[in-house]
Amino acid sequence: MPARGCKRLLLVGDERKGGSKALIAHHATWLTGRGCECEIVMDRESSLEDREADCVVVWGGDGSLLGTARRMGQNQRPTLGINRGRLGFLTSFEYEHTQQALDMLLAGELHEEPRLMYWCSMQGLDGTTSEPVLGLNDVVVSRAAVGGMILLRAFRGSSELASYRGDGLVTATAVGSTAYSMAAGGPVLAPDMDALVLTPLASHTLSARPLVLPVGEGIDIEVVETGNKKYAYCQIDGQIQMQVPVGGRVILRPAKTRFRHLGLGPMHFFQVLHAKFGFASVAKPR
């Protein structure tokens, strides 16, 4: 549905990226001149959950958008991404179109599209569970960089879905299906699907293939073997890392909250997929 105009804006950038603060301050001045209240946040680690805002605008790449979603916690607000990174697949506009993006935001012409989020935690051998981390993209359980193959088992409830021996396993949402999962040979899912795709990494068996399933109550991934290392590693959205011992489990559960993506409508995803990845392009005859 169309998103209504926003008056209190949270402008998010990354202080490590050169020129970001000055660029965002410039746009904040323009927005203030049009009656908006603006708060600028450049610290990439600070929580955004308790800050007052009707909408959030993020300047950066996909990592910046994922980090912002996690930092908003259970207080998700409509979020517009403007790409200043390399690929920027999750962002709705390139930086050179910033003015168009902000004009459309204030005019209420952008569409709010809810996206599945999840909670991820680690259960140790003693049954204790770590503090859950909110994610949007994917959970990757993998071997150590110089370790041997690992063996993982995926469960839903008490039922085993599959086992994977190799470098690891990517469990991606529909949003994350165009990231590491796709690079490893997984399918592309439309971003509004409430589904997970399990994509093995360098599987030792030819029968191991990507598996798509409804999100349901989530899944558990048990670490059965870790080669000659003490731990496997779990990465959440490529930003948060945990160690998982043999016998431990990575627990992934759907979150009640949704990421509130602001964009140009459902078909824009396929336009970007074609433009940035050459998806389903037909080779031109020579």
Question: Would you list the domain boundaries of the chain?
Answer: 8-110+264-277, 117-256
Buried b (16+ CB within 10 A) or exposed e, 121-138: bbbeeeeeebebbbbbbb
Tokens of 170: 């990517």
Q: Which CATH class is domain 8-110+264-277?
A: alpha beta
Per-residue pLDDT at 4 exceeds 60 = no
Closest CA to 268 of 72, 160, 122, 111: 111
Q: Which residues contact 262 (CB under 8 A, 6 or more apart)?
A: 3, 55, 78, 79, 80, 81, 92, 105, 110, 111, 112, 113
Q: Which of the listed CATH numbers 1.20.1640.10, 3.40.640.10, 3.40.50.1370, 2.60.200.30 matches domain 117-256?
A: 2.60.200.30
Per-residue pLDDT at 283 exceeds 60 = no
Q: Do domains 8-110+264-277 and 117-256 have the same CATH topology?
A: no
3-class state of residue 205 by DSSP = coil
β 93-94/55-60 pair status: unpaired
- Of 14, 43, 54, 62, the catalytic one is 62
Q: Which stretches within the chain are classed as H helix?
A: 20-32, 62-72, 98-106, 180-183, 268-277
Q: Which residues contact 72 (CB under 8 A, 6 or more apart)?
A: 48, 49, 56, 79
Query: pLDDT tens across 60-103, in order?
Result: 999 999 999 999 999 999 999 999 877 678 999 999 999 999 99
Per-residue pLDDT at 44 exceeds 70 = yes
Roughly what angle, to the nearest 10 degrees, separates helices 20-32 and 98-106?
40
Distance CA 48, CA 92 (A): 21
Q: Per-residue pLDDT averaged across 165-194, rounded?
A: 95
Q: Per-residue pLDDT averaged across 149-155, rounded?
A: 96
pTM of the model as a whole: 0.91
Q: How many residues does the chain have?
A: 286
DSSP string, 99-128: HHHHHHHHTT-SEEEEEEEEEEEEE-TTS-
Q: Which residues contact 207 (CB under 8 A, 6 or more apart)?
A: none
Told to judge if 62 belongs to the known catalytic residues of this protein, a careful annotator would answer: yes
Tokens of 116: 């599945």
Going by pLDDT thresholds of 50, 70 and 90, the confidence category of residue 285 is: low
Per-residue pLDDT at 3 exceeds 60 = no
Distance CA 67, CA 80 (A): 13
Going by pLDDT thresholds of 50, 70 and 90, the confidence category of residue 1 is: very low
Exposed / middle / buried, residue 99 (Cβ in 10 Å: 0-12, 13-18, 19+): exposed
